[in-house]
Amino acid sequence: MRVLVTGGAGYIGSVIVEELLNAGHQAIVYDSLVHGHLDALHEGARFVRGAIQDRQMLVNALRDNSVEAVVHMAAFIEAGESVRDPALFFQNNTMGALQVIQAMIETGVKRLVFSSTAALYGDPEHLPIAEDDIVAPTNPYGESKRLVEQMLRWIAPANGIAVTSLRYFNAAGATERNGEDHDPETHLIPLVLRAAISGNPVSIFGTDYPTPDGTCVRDYIHVLDLAQAHLLALQSAVPGLTIYNVGNGNGYSVREVIQSVARVSGKTLQIIEHPRRPGDQIATVASSAKIRAELGWQPRYAAIDDIIGSAWRWRVGHPHGYAR
């Protein structure tokens, strides 16, 4: 299958491209490189540099490469930034996704896997979270993704497009080739790994949450397991929108993640506690029963030390990230 991956030079996108090529598919990476990395581009993939707001360039990329399916990854992801500049996130994430969808309609591409997020659920009433639970984002980032899902509920069946929306929980870990390198970095695991290498202290934002140790709880999923969910989702050919959670079903607190990094790295970490940040969810843990039952997806790297261990090995080999 010929698959165009928007954001394919980013963290998750680059691993999806790896797995597509390993499975014998053809991959076309469409990326602006605003947040992606040239060094993350796979030599086996074709690269088109472009913005998702440029519909004509998208149309050309789809037509020129006879694309059969799209994996739409390109998005701004930092929840705190979305609180400070909501318009930026709606412009890029929501309106940009609409440009991708319209380019697909214009070129007759009928399969789409959409990168959604567990941020749609806000602070859930119970755990684990199922796909039919209340959607109530606590930040504009989550809202920008919710709006795309709402559009797709109408657009997909009207145009005969088979859409699978994957609501990611917290991607982490690395392959030998690709790892997590954002600028600025806001995700917990890479920040703690950097602190383990540099000796700088680790910041915890909020220690008074209603959780066992007072810090936020997250469900971490290895990026390879997440990539495999995309490959399975590409097999869908039923017009309309189907939604799946993708997570391990295990919650780990901020303090537990820091303890895991200490075990994996053998380093002693200094902690500095700060007040809560706006937009942070208290706890998110996935029920992935639906994707397991319907697509046969099974995580292979569920243990937190295994996930963090792979990220640690990549970080040690890339202490300054990719090209920096």
**Distance separating alpha carbons of residues 283 and 61, to the nearest angstrom:** 40
Which among 70, 233, 97 is positioned nearest to 165, based on CA atoms? 233
Question: Across residues 76-103, what is the average pLDDT?
Answer: 96
Instruction: Identify the pLDDT of residue 321.
Output: 87
Question: Across residues 7-35, what is the average pLDDT?
Answer: 97
Which among 76, 73, 71, 69 is positioned nearest to 141, based on CA atoms? 76
Question: Across residues 48-59, what is the average pLDDT?
Answer: 98
pLDDT in tens, 232-246: 999 988 899 999 999
The DSSP H or E segment spanning 241 is strand 240-246
Question: Across residues 119-129, what is the average pLDDT?
Answer: 93
Q: If DSSP codes are grouped into helix, strand and coil, which group holds residue 43?
A: coil
Residue 279 structure tokens: 């937009």
> pLDDT tier at 141 (50, 70, 90 boundaries)?
very high
Whole-structure pTM value: 0.95
Instruction: Reply yes or no on whether the pLDDT at 46 is more than 80.
Output: yes
For 264, phi then psi, to 5°, come to -65, -40
**Distance separating alpha carbons of residues 233 and 164, to the nearest angstrom:** 6
Instruction: Identify the pLDDT of residue 324.
Output: 54
> Counting Cβ atoms within 10 Å, is residue 36 exposed (0-12), middle (13-18) or buried (19+)?
buried
For 104, residues 6+ apart whose C-beta sits below 8 A from its C-beta are 62, 70, 110, 112, 161
> pLDDT tier at 185 (50, 70, 90 boundaries)?
confident
Task: Report the catalytic residues.
Answer: 141
Question: Across residues 101-116, what is the average pLDDT?
Answer: 98
Question: Across residues 21-46, what is the average pLDDT?
Answer: 96
Instruction: Identify the pLDDT of residue 323.
Output: 65
Q: Delineate the domains of the chain, giving CATH numbers in brackets.
A: 2-172+220-246 (3.40.50.720)
Instruction: Reply yes or no on whether the pLDDT at 144 is more than 80.
Output: yes
Q: Are 177 and 227 in contact (CB under 8 A)?
A: no
Position 317: which residue type? Answer: G
For 33, phi then psi, to 5°, come to 65, 20
> pLDDT tier at 272 (50, 70, 90 boundaries)?
very high
Distance of CA 70 to the CA centre of its chain: 15
Instruction: Reply yes or no on whether the pLDDT at 99 is more than 90.
Output: yes
The DSSP H or E segment spanning 31 is strand 26-31
Instruction: Reply yes or no on whether the pLDDT at 300 is more than 60.
Output: yes
Instruction: Identify the pLDDT of residue 275.
Output: 97
Instruction: Reply yes or no on whether the pLDDT at 107 is more than 60.
Output: yes
Question: Across residues 105-126, what is the average pLDDT?
Answer: 95
For 157, residues 6+ apart whose C-beta sits below 8 A from its C-beta are 239, 240, 241
Instruction: Reply yes or no on whether the pLDDT at 122 is more than 60.
Output: yes
Percentage of the chain with pLDDT > 70? 99
pLDDT in tens, 274-299: 999 888 889 999 999 999 999 999 99
